[in-house]
Protein backbone atom coordinates (compact mmCIF):
# COMPACT_ATOMS: atom_id res chain seq x y z
CA UNK A 1 0.00 0.00 0.00
CA UNK A 2 1.38 3.40 -0.95
CA UNK A 3 1.39 6.67 0.95
CA UNK A 4 -1.18 8.01 -1.53
CA UNK A 5 -3.63 5.25 -0.66
CA UNK A 6 -3.16 5.90 3.04
CA UNK A 7 -3.73 9.61 2.47
CA UNK A 8 -6.90 8.93 0.46
CA UNK A 9 -8.27 6.73 3.22
CA UNK A 10 -7.40 9.18 5.99
CA UNK A 11 -8.56 12.32 4.14
CA UNK A 12 -11.05 11.40 1.41
CA UNK A 13 -12.54 14.89 0.93
CA UNK A 14 -9.17 16.63 0.85
CA UNK A 15 -7.84 13.99 -1.53
CA UNK A 16 -10.76 14.62 -3.90
CA UNK A 17 -10.16 18.36 -3.80
CA UNK A 18 -6.47 17.91 -4.63
CA UNK A 19 -7.18 15.47 -7.48
CA UNK A 20 -10.00 17.54 -8.99
CA UNK A 21 -8.13 20.83 -8.60
CA UNK A 22 -11.23 22.45 -7.19
CA UNK A 23 -11.13 23.86 -3.69
CA UNK A 24 -14.38 23.97 -1.79
CA UNK A 25 -14.98 27.19 0.07
CA UNK A 26 -16.85 27.51 3.31
CA UNK A 27 -17.62 30.82 4.98
CA UNK A 28 -16.15 31.08 8.44
CA UNK A 29 -18.22 33.04 10.90
CA UNK A 30 -16.31 33.75 14.07
CA UNK A 31 -18.05 32.26 17.05
CA UNK A 32 -16.69 34.52 19.76
CA UNK A 33 -18.38 37.74 18.92
CA UNK A 34 -17.71 39.28 22.31
CA UNK A 35 -14.22 39.65 23.69
CA UNK A 36 -12.96 37.08 26.14
CA UNK A 37 -11.54 39.83 28.31
CA UNK A 38 -12.11 39.80 32.03
CA UNK A 39 -14.68 42.48 32.78
CA UNK A 40 -13.64 46.00 33.53
CA UNK A 41 -10.92 47.15 35.84
CA UNK A 42 -10.97 50.53 37.44
CA UNK A 43 -8.51 53.22 36.42
CA UNK A 44 -6.26 52.18 39.27
CA UNK A 45 -6.28 48.59 37.96
CA UNK A 46 -7.45 47.23 41.30
CA UNK A 47 -11.22 46.94 41.21
CA UNK A 48 -12.64 44.17 39.04
CA UNK A 49 -16.14 44.61 37.64
CA UNK A 50 -17.43 41.53 35.80
CA UNK A 51 -19.28 42.15 32.54
CA UNK A 52 -22.17 40.24 30.98
CA UNK A 53 -19.81 37.77 29.30
CA UNK A 54 -18.19 36.95 32.64
CA UNK A 55 -21.62 36.14 34.09
CA UNK A 56 -22.74 34.16 31.04
CA UNK A 57 -19.58 32.04 31.15
CA UNK A 58 -20.59 30.87 34.65
CA UNK A 59 -23.97 29.56 33.44
CA UNK A 60 -24.72 25.88 32.88
CA UNK A 61 -27.71 26.32 30.58
CA UNK A 62 -29.05 28.77 28.00
CA UNK A 63 -32.11 29.63 30.15
CA UNK A 64 -29.75 30.63 32.98
CA UNK A 65 -27.84 32.89 30.59
CA UNK A 66 -31.06 34.49 29.34
CA UNK A 67 -32.11 35.12 32.94
CA UNK A 68 -28.76 36.83 33.61
CA UNK A 69 -29.14 38.98 30.49
CA UNK A 70 -32.68 40.02 31.45
CA UNK A 71 -31.49 40.85 34.98
CA UNK A 72 -28.65 43.03 33.64
CA UNK A 73 -31.09 44.85 31.36
CA UNK A 74 -33.39 45.47 34.34
CA UNK A 75 -30.49 46.95 36.30
CA UNK A 76 -29.51 49.14 33.36
CA UNK A 77 -26.13 47.46 32.92
CA UNK A 78 -27.04 46.30 29.39
CA UNK A 79 -29.03 48.07 26.70
CA UNK A 80 -31.87 46.25 24.98
CA UNK A 81 -29.79 46.19 21.79
CA UNK A 82 -26.85 44.56 23.56
CA UNK A 83 -29.21 42.06 25.19
CA UNK A 84 -30.77 41.25 21.82
CA UNK A 85 -27.30 40.58 20.32
CA UNK A 86 -26.28 38.37 23.25
CA UNK A 87 -29.50 36.35 23.04
CA UNK A 88 -29.12 36.02 19.29
CA UNK A 89 -25.60 34.64 19.76
CA UNK A 90 -26.86 32.28 22.48
CA UNK A 91 -29.54 30.86 20.21
CA UNK A 92 -27.45 30.63 17.05
CA UNK A 93 -24.00 29.70 18.41
CA UNK A 94 -24.69 28.27 21.86
CA UNK A 95 -23.67 28.98 25.40
CA UNK A 96 -19.99 28.11 25.00
CA UNK A 97 -19.57 30.51 22.09
CA UNK A 98 -18.80 33.10 24.78
CA UNK A 99 -15.86 31.04 26.02
CA UNK A 100 -15.22 28.08 28.27
CA UNK A 101 -17.19 27.77 31.49
CA UNK A 102 -15.69 29.68 34.39
CA UNK A 103 -15.75 27.39 37.38
CA UNK A 104 -15.77 28.36 41.05
CA UNK A 105 -12.56 30.14 42.10
CA UNK A 106 -11.63 30.84 38.46
CA UNK A 107 -9.95 34.14 39.30
CA UNK A 108 -8.06 32.66 42.25
CA UNK A 109 -6.52 30.10 39.88
CA UNK A 110 -5.96 32.23 36.80
CA UNK A 111 -5.95 35.81 38.03
CA UNK A 112 -7.44 38.72 36.17
CA UNK A 113 -5.26 38.48 33.08
Q: What is the pTM of this model?
A: 0.57
Domain coordinates of the chain in residue numbers? 33-110
Q: Per-residue confidence of the chain (113 residues) as pLDDT tens digits?
A: 578 888 888 888 888 888 888 876 766 555 554 444 555 555 455 566 788 998 999 899 999 999 999 999 999 999 999 999 999 999 999 999 998 888 877 766 666 55
- Which has the closest alpha carbon to 86: 108, 109, 110, 53? 53
pLDDT of residue 80: 92
How many other CB atoms sit within 10 Å of the CB of residue 33?
A: 15
pLDDT of residue 39: 52
pLDDT of residue 22: 80
Amino acid sequence: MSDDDDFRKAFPALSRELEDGVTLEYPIDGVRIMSEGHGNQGDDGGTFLPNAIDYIRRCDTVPQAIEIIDYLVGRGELSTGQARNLKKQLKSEGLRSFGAKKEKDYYLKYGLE
